[in-house]
Amino acid sequence: MTENDADRQLAELRVENERLRGLLRQRGIEAADAALVSSRKDYQHERELATEQARTIQAEHRADAQAERADRALTQRNDLSAIHAALVSNAEFNRQILENSTDCIKVLDLEGRLEFMSAGGMRIMEIDDFSRFMACPWVEFWHGEYREKAQQAVGAAKAGDVGQFEGQTPTAKGNMRWWEVIVSPVRGRDGAVEKLLSISRDITARHEADHRQRVLFEEMHHRVKNTLTTIIGIVQQSFRNAPSMAEAESAVCERLFALGTAHDLLIRNEWISADLRDVVTGALSAYVGETALVTAKGDSLQLTSRAALTVAMLLNELATNAVKYGAWATKNGHVEIGWQVEGDELRFCWHEHHGPCVEPPKRCGFGTRLLQELLPDALAGTATLHYEPSGFIFELHAPVASLTTLTLVTETDISRAKLRGRRQ
């Protein structure tokens, strides 16, 4: 091979080498470009994936936040529901208290005018429509000395203290009642008195019980005096008629025992029904020792326990008067008792003989009113008292039906009779 051929081949090799290098460069660039493109695609995909992940995370965060808000809202709703239920329950509880309370609960303004009254208070005050009493001055419902006490109680409450008193005033329907009243201040947030709270409690039963107790003491005093007088008469009669001291002592003991039995009869309200003849015998057994001192005759008539008690009280009063002023105050005195049923009426008569000369009393005392008014009224009957010079006579007419449907005389009735007697 010649030198020219070698140079030519060398030149061709160089050209080919350059071509190959170019191809390599071209392919490298394309590969690089392809790699770049691939890389860019991968980057874009990663970015999209990251964006999607971020969106997913944000969505999850939003969902969590929404769930948390929903939980808070549910908790708040449950709390509000519980609070509402508690308020409703408390309101119903308070309503039940106000409605069922036996106290009259009122709210007054600072001028003492009515603004509110509980349902229970309306009931015991017998008020059907409170609107008629709205804004009425509360103190004007009281009268006399009790109005002044009511004004003082309102003044004390306005000053921040508690005013209280007891007074009598009628209900809206005119039924008189006794009340225990407390008036207290109702303060606002600043501590100032804004309203007045008045609570009235019906204490009529307590006052009536106190009154009955006072009357009972008076009646006990009356009975003790009569009992002592009766005992003196029993002792005198026993010693006057007894042939010896031993017999006199025995007669006194027997009659005092009978007197106790008679008083038991007067207080046993649950006593069973009894025959009128037994009632007469039992009531008078303490006052007579000899059958000659009393004669009792009448029809058999079954009395209720209350009727029997009332008749026994009548006989006790008649016998006491006979011992003190009448036939049994003398040695030869005698009492004739008789009764009979005529149609639907009982006629009862007590007739004294051979006692002191009888004169009408100058003053109508309590015992006389018992005989003439209270006890006969309890039997729905009428009584007549005759003060004949030869002897006192008591007559009672009463319907037989009333002996089974009567109302026993009460201590209040006795007290009223005493007051009427004092006025006269």
pLDDT tens column, 8-26: 777 777 776 676 666 656 6
pLDDT higher than 50, residue 410 = no
Question: 406 versus 257: which is more confidently predicted?
Answer: 257
pLDDT higher than 50, residue 412 = no
Question: 245 versus 149: which is more confidently predicted?
Answer: 149
| 103-202 matches 207-423 in fold | no
* The CATH number of domain 103-202, selected from 3.30.450.20, 3.40.50.720, 3.30.110.30, 3.40.50.300: 3.30.450.20
pLDDT higher than 90, residue 197 = yes
In this prediction, residues 255-278 reach a mean pLDDT of 63
CA pair distance 335, 72, nearest whole angstrom: 100
pLDDT band at 416 (very low <50, low <70, confident <90, very high): very low
Convert the pLDDT of each residue in 112-156 to its tens digit.
999 999 888 888 899 989 889 899 999 999 999 999 999 999 999
Give bridge partners of residue 104 from the DSSP assignment.
Answer: 200
Convert the pLDDT of each residue in 74-85 to its tens digit.
777 777 666 656
Q: Which residues of 207-236 are buried (b: 16+ CB within 10 A; e: fewer)?
A: beeeebeebeeebeebbeebbeebbebbee
Burial of 280 (0-12, 13-18, 19+ CB in 10 A): buried
CA pair distance 136, 191, nearest whole angstrom: 26
- The domains of the chain are located at 1-99, 103-202, 207-423
CATH class of 207-423: alpha beta
The pTM (predicted TM-score) of the whole model is 0.43
In this prediction, residues 36-52 reach a mean pLDDT of 66
Q: Quick one: pLDDT at residue 88? A: 57
Question: 243 versus 245: which is more confidently predicted?
Answer: 245
